[in-house]
Structure 1
Amino acid sequence: MRTRLRQLRIDARTFVWHAEIRHAQGSGDCHRCIRLRVWGAGKTSQALQADLLSVAWPAPWGACATDGSYPTSADVRAVTSYALGHGWQPERRGGTFVLTEPEHAAGFALPDFLLTDRLRTPECADPTLRVVRAYEHRHGR
């Protein structure tokens, strides 16, 4: 199956990106998670990677089957702009710049997503409580 790359322009620069739907296991719950990868100077350039945990549902149980969250181009623009201001060098050759949860989650947020390390490090903190808190905060509960 061929990967579909989408384009995004920020100022005079063109970026390409790809988002892949995955799932992150929580404490008995499954959460929808999107692995976002962005390139700014071709596929051999330093990639940007962010794993985005969906906060679309009030309770995560069963959300894997029903959560339709997917990043919009505005979400990808926000992630890309943030990464550019925090050390990502897309013109650099090779490697991956990862927006990690401990380093970036407190300073960056999207309305429908949280940064997570759960896909890369399954033994990191359970995402369930963060998802519930974000949903409640978003809906004023």
Structure 2
Amino acid sequence: MKTRLRKLHAHNREFAWTAKVHHVKGRDCHSCVRLRVWGAGKNSRLLQADLLSRAVLPWGCATDDGYPTPKDVRAVIDYALANGWDPDLPSGTFYLTEADHTLELPGFILTDRPRDPDSPDPTTRVLDAWDKAQNP
């Protein structure tokens, strides 16, 4: 199946983005979406963020249908631009990692688990985010 590239207009340019759903394991299974964004064509500096679903569901990732909206993607782009991503640079990847960034979206938090199996347990992070949302 071919990956679908979506378009988003922001900051006086057109961004192309794609998102693919994966699952990550901690104490429980969690839905994770790998977001990839290009801002100056296919050979430009790629932005990549692994978005961990904040959903707390009784059956875990099997019933989680979380997927980033264009508003979520715009928030990721805005955050990345403000934190050093230059989409005009040729090649390479700019990673938004949980270790280096504090980006939180209404339905997602950053995770490093798909790239680093030794990163913090996603179950603990999802439950902490849920508790924080319930008790601001």
For normalisation by structure 1, the TM-score amounts to 0.91
Q: Is the 8 A contact 2:57 2:64 kept in 1?
A: no
- 2: distance between equivalents of 1:66 and 1:56? 10
Aligned CA RMSD, in angstroms, stands at 1.3
Aligned-pair identity in percent equals 54
Deviation track 1:7-34 (CA, whole Å, cap 9, x = no partner) reads 011131110000000011102x111000
Residue 54 (structure 2) aligns with: 55
2:53 counterpart letter in structure 1: S
Q: Map residues 1-141 of structure 1 onto 2, 5 A cutoff.
A: 1-27=1-27, 29-57=28-56, 62-105=59-102, 108-140=103-135
For normalisation by structure 2, the TM-score amounts to 0.95
Deviation track 1:30-70 (CA, whole Å, cap 9, x = no partner) reads 110000000001111110000000012256xx311100100
5+ long unaligned stretches in structure 2: none
5+ long unaligned stretches in structure 1: none
Query: After TM superposition, which residue ranges in structure 1, 4 or more long, deviate above 2 angstroms?
Result: none
2:24 counterpart letter in structure 1: A
